[in-house]
Each structure stands twice: as structure tokens, then as C-alpha cells.
Structure 1
Amino acid sequence: MRKLILAFFWLAAATAQADVYISIDAQGGYVLSNVHRPGRHYERVISDRIDQAGPADAQLITGRPYADLVAAAALAYDVPQALLHALIKAESGYNPKARSAAGAVGLMQLMPDTAKEMGVEDILDPEDNVQGGARYIKRMLTLFDNDITLAVAAYNAGPDAVRRRGAVPPFAETRRYVPTVLREYRKLQGLADDSPL
């Protein structure tokens, strides 16, 4: 059966030009996907080189501002580029000089103490800021067992607020922020708005 499934996807790859991953679910069935989600173990069965014409979501990501910086940070900290872009769009609208009333700074709106903890030397330097933000969201993903919703909530409201409730905290800003980031994240991955993460 696996050979039949793989043969089908090898044939599909000739026209689709996309990465395809396979994993085994809890019931022992095969799960095929063109999206590699954090926290799940996949084996790539079809690989599409980045310089080839790729899926629409890859083009959406590579066409974004600071795409090279985001790609490097995503690779360094094993987080999805789409998630970093979604956070940057929500946090600063890609403005590297953005400052919030609360004191957050730069593309990923790092608080000075968080930036220092993440090893950021120049909080206004786009590369340094994105590296620090990627390191921080990776920490949140690890802390919340790769639950992207809770990690994004913790990025906004702080991990303690999320841990105390075991859910997205009832803060108005966070309740607006989380769906905004997740909507953009899904869009950049070519997923429907209600697709599971």
C-alpha cells in the first residue's frame, strides 16, 4: 500500500512541484501533507528545490520584506518562515523602527528585557531583531508543546499569563492578536482559515 501511495505522489510531483511529507498517525495510517507543521515527525518523500517554481505560499513568503533574514532565522531556530512573517506583520507591519507604547521595539516588537535575554545586541537592527524574535517564539513553541495558538498567545501576553489559564488569556489585545497572526500564518501556508494547525 505504501508503494502505491508513494508512486501516486511521485507522479503528482512531476506536475505539482511541491514538497510532500509522510507520517504515521496514532491509528497507524499514513498522513500525506505538503506542509511540515512543528511538533510532528515527517519524512520528506518528494522534494522541490527552492529555486524552482514553487507553490503559491512559497512565493508569498519569498516576496515579503526581509525574506532572507526571516529564512535564515527560521532555519537557525527550526520555526516556520510563515509564522515569523505572520508575527512581524502583526507586530510592526514590517517597520524596523516601530516602537510600542509599552516599550517593544523593532520588526518583532521585542521588549528590551526579552531582547537581552535572547542575546540581541542591537534591538533596532532587523537581522538581530528577527533572530531574537525567532529564538523567543521557538522557546514559546517548546514551552507549549508546539501548540502554535498558545505559543502565539504567549508571544503577545507572556508565557505566565498563558500557563496560568492553560488557554489564550482573556485580554482584549491578545484575543484580537492571536486570530490575526494565525489567519496570516495559514494564508502564507496556503491553508484555509479554519484549517487545523
Structure 2
Amino acid sequence: MAVLAELYPGLRSVFIALPGKEPAPLPQGQSALSGRGGSVERLKARLGDVSDASSLNRLFDNAGRTRAEFSPAPPAPAPVVADPISAARSRFAEVEKLLRGRGASQRVIDLTINEAVRQKADPLLVLAMVQAESNFRTRAVSSCGARGLMQLIPSTAKDMGVDDPDALFDPRVNLRAGVRYLKWLWGRFATLSFSDLIKADLSGSASAQKAVAAYNAGPGNVRKYGGIPPFKETRNYVAKIVRTYKELRQAFLSAV
């Protein structure tokens, strides 16, 4: 009404009257639109961009919206990734199936997962290392005298609290010492926690790969070369762990 009154003051005499009084009459021969010379055309021009009724509706609808309403929606939060350390055992069903297909016994799989969880290490990483070290054979012995599931040499095992080398053939003892040693290396080389490894994937963390390399080549060599040593065996070992971890991670994340 204010806009129309501004354009056509004569309309005030038609629509506005004092209480109890009739509107004042217009001069004879004059209409409410008289005297504006082209105002109607200017009003039409202001609405020239409105091509149809739906456009007019949008014009008035959008006029009352705030800047925030036109702002892009915030990005969706990143999906929550289950932590293998605290996940229910049912989440490992596909992992166990995959490893059984590679010759691992359910007993050794269970012992490995349980010990990793007990020490708050990533079970998927420990499983990948057991596969690479001994292929889940509890009595495996290497040419340098490393023994058992996680292929600990007696001197390293002693540092981890195992004095009897033959005790390393006991899978519980071997896993306990092996995971302890892995955690010790992890604290010196890795810059992310075991819980964060599942999110980054081993292939995405150079520092985690240093810890894995140190398990194979020794921490002294990793420090000496400032990363994975240029030994073919160690580089192949790290690549194998990265590949196996990726496979186990995919199996773990596929479980409902």
C-alpha cells in the first residue's frame, strides 16, 4: 500500500479516511491515477523480469530469506570408523574368514586378536605381521634363530621378559613379547596412535612404516638411515605388511 501511495498520492483519498468520515471526493474529471504521467509504465518496468506467476512467487518468497538460508550446507561429518581395539568380535568375522583361507587356525587368530586388544595394539596390524613373520606357524624358526609366531630372536625376547628361548614356541608367550616389542618400537617411530591407524591406513603413514621396518631391520638401522633402510629384505617386508594390512582393513570395515 505504501508503494502504491507513493506512486499515486491520489489513492489516499480513496482508501484513507478519518474515522466516521467519508473519503474526500476527487476533483471532477480526475481519476486516482491522474497526474503521474507514465508511472504505470515505470511500475511495469520494475516487474519486467517477472515472466510468470511462479517467478513472482519466487520473487516474494526469496525476499524474506536471510543470507544464512542461501549459504551452502555444511559438509557432512566424516563417517565414524570402528576402532579394532575396542570393536566387538563380530566385526572380525570377515577378517577371520580371510585368514582361515590362508591356512591360519582359528585358535591362533583368536590368540593374536586377544593379545593385541589386551595390550591396546591394532589387532589388524599384529595379524598382518604374524602372517608375514611365520605364516601363523607356532614353531617356525628362521636362519638367524628367530622363533615362533612373531619371529623373536632370543636376545630381543629377553629384553621383553622372556628368558627361555624355547618358551617362544608357546603362542601366548610369543605374542605377549612380540606385541610388547612392537609397541616399544611404535612409541619411538610412529606419530599416530594404534587407534588412528585404521583411519589413515598403513600406506598413508610413513612414521608407522618406520616402526614396521624397525621390527625387521632393528631400530638402529631405521635411525641410521632416517627411515626405511635400503635393504631389499626390509623394503619387501614393509611392502608386504602394508598390502596385508590393507586387505585385512577392507575385510574389517566390510563387516556390519
Does the Cα contact within 8 Å between 1:35 and 1:189 map onto a contact in 2? Answer: no
Which of 162, 172, 184 is the aligned partner of 2:232? 172
Instruction: Identify the match of residue 210 of structure 2 among 150, 159, 171.
Output: 150
Q: Mark the CA change 1:57 to 1:125 in structure 2 (over 3 Å): closer, same or farther.
A: closer
Amino acid at match of 2:79: L
2:114 partner amino acid: A
8 Å contact from structure 1 (residues 78, 138) kept in 2: no
| Distance of aligned partners of 1:77 and 1:62 in 2 relative to their CA distance in 1, 3 Å threshold | farther
Structure 1: 5+ residue runs without aligned partners? 1-28, 39-43, 192-197
Aligned-CA RMSD value: 2.6
Deviation at 1:114, TM superposition (A): 0.6
- Give the one of 130, 134, 139 matched to 2:179: 134
1:102 aligned partner: 144
Match of 2:114 among 39, 51, 72: 72
- For residues 20-39 of structure 1, what are the structure 2 equivalents within 5 Å? 30-36=77-83
Amino acid at match of 1:179: A
**Larger helix share, 1 or 2:** 2
Alpha carbons of structure 1 residues 58 and 106: separation in structure 2 relative to 1, 3 Å: closer
Q: Which position in structure 2 is the counterpart of 1:5?
A: none
> Compared with structure 1, are the counterparts of its residues 127 and 54 closer, same or farther at alpha carbon in structure 2 (3 Å cutoff)?
closer
DSSP-derived class of the 1:113 partner:
helix
Q: What displacement does 1:96 show?
A: 1.1
Measured after TM superposition, the shift of residue 138 of structure 1 is 0.8
Asked if the contact 1:58/1:189 (under 8 Å) is kept, the reply is no
CA distance in 1, matches of 2:142, 2:92: 36
Distance 1:70 1:184 in 2: 15
Gaps of 5+ in 2: 1-75, 193-206, 252-256
Distance 1:55 1:100, change over 3 A: closer
How big is each residue's C-alpha offset from its partner over 1:41-75, in whole Å with a ceiling of 9 and x where there is no partner? xxx9xxx6434x76734654688431221122111
Contact between 1:108 and 1:129, CA under 8 Å: does it hold in 2?
yes
Q: Distance in 2 between matches of 1:93 and 1:138?
A: 21
Distance change (3 Å), C-alpha of 1:62 and 1:138: farther
SS of the equivalent of 1:190 reads helix
Aligned length: 154
- Alignment match, 1:124: 169
Q: Which amino acid in the other structure matches residue 36 of structure 1?
A: D
Cα deviation, residue 80, structure 1:
1.0
Paired residue type of 2:83:
H
Q: Deviations over 1:102-131 (max 9, x none)?
A: 111111000101111111251111110011
SS of residue paired to 2:250: coil
Instruction: Report the CA distance shift for 1:107/1:184 in structure 2 as closer, same or farther (over 3 A).
Output: same
- In 2, distance between residues paired with 1:163 and 1:137? 16
Residues 1:111 and 2:153 aligned together: yes
Report what 1:13 is aligned to.
none
Query: Which letter maps to 1:104?
Result: A
TM-score of the superposition, structure 1-length normalised?
0.68
CA distance, structure 1, for counterparts of residue 140 and residue 88 of structure 2: 35
The structure that has the greater radius of gyration is 2
The question of whether the paired residues in 1 share the 8 Å contact of 2:229 and 2:235 is answered with: yes
Distance 1:148 1:37 in 2: 17
